[in-house]
Amino acid sequence: MNRDAFSEALLQIMERKQHWAWPGFNSGEVSADRLHVHLEQEYATYVRDFPVLVGRAYVQCPIPAVRRELAENLYEEETGGIAAGRPHPELFLEYPRGLGMDLDRFERIELLPAAAAYRATLDELTIARGWVVAACVVTIFIEGTCHDRGELDPSVSRRPAPPLEQHPLVVHYGLPLESLALTKAHRAVEGDHRAAAWRCVLDHSREHARADAVEAMERTLLAWLRYRDEVAQACGLSSRS
Ligand SMILES: [Fe+2]
Ligand SMILES: [Fe+2]
C-alpha cells in the first residue's frame, strides 16, 4: 500500500468516528445524574492510561525520529510539562470535580461490557502488533477526530473550536470555565501534535505494515461504535429519539 492509499484509508476511517448520540450529549439531553457514566467509562477505557498507551507505541518503534515525537507526546500526557502544567488524566478529572461528582467513583470503575471489549481491543492492538499499528490506534484514532482530514489538507476545514463559554458542559451542566483546563491544553498543543502524529505514521511506516494498520483501525472503530452505543443507552439516549 503506498503512502497516498494509506493516508486515504486512515482518513476514511476517521471520518466514520462519529456517533449518533453526540448531538444528544452536546445539547444537554442526558440528565445530570447519568452524566457520570459517560465520564467514568471514558476515563477507564483510555483517559487514565493514555500515557501508557503512547508508551506502547514508543517501545516498539525502531525509528529515532518517530520515537522522539512519541516521547514528547508521552511526556506531555504524563506530566503536562510542555503545555498543560499537569498530567492530562488528572486534568480530565476536573470535569467531574467541577460538576460536583463523587470522585471516589473514578477509583473503582467497572467497565460496561462493550467498554471492556473496546479496552481489550486497544490492549490487543497496542501491546505487540508493532509500532505502526500502535501509533495509528493511539495517536490517530484515540487522539484524533472525524475532522482530521483538515490537519492534512489545507482546503478542508479543521476541527471547529467554539469559545469555551459555549462548551456543552458549561452551557447545560454549569461546569465552571476553569474546569475546562484539559480542553484548553488540548487546543494549545493540538495543531502541531496532530500534524506530527500523521507525519510519523505516513512518512515512516513500511509498505507491508500499512494494511495491518488499516485493519486494526477498522477494528478499533467498530469496537468504539459499540462502546458508544452502550454508553448512550446507559445515559438514557436512544437512536430513535
Ligand atoms: Fe497527546
Ligand atoms: Fe491529552
**Where do the structural domains in the chain lie, given as residue ranges?**
3-234
pLDDT of residue 240: 66
Distance of CA 68 from the midpoint of ligand 1 (Å) = 13
Distance of CA 241 from the midpoint of ligand 1 (Å) = 34
Positions in the chain whose pLDDT score sits under 70: 191, 240-241
Distance of CA 23 from the midpoint of ligand 2 (Å) = 23
Name the grid cell of 134. Answer: 500502535
- d(CA 129, CA 124) in angstroms, rounded, equals 8
Q: Give 111-125 pLDDT, tens digit per residue.
A: 999 999 999 999 999
**Does 3-234 carry CATH code 3.40.190.10?**
no
Distance of CA 85 from the midpoint of ligand 1 (Å) = 13
Cα angle 23, 24, 28 (rounded to 5 degrees) comes to 110
- d(CA 68, CA 7) in angstroms, rounded, equals 22
pLDDT of residue 78: 98
pTM assigned to the model: 0.96
pLDDT of residue 188: 86
For cell 460496561, what's the residue?
112
- d(CA 54, CA 78) in angstroms, rounded, equals 10
pLDDT of residue 26: 95
Distance of CA 35 from the midpoint of ligand 1 (Å) = 24
| H runs (alpha helix) in 60-180 | 64-79, 88-92, 94-98, 113-127, 131-135, 149-152, 168-173
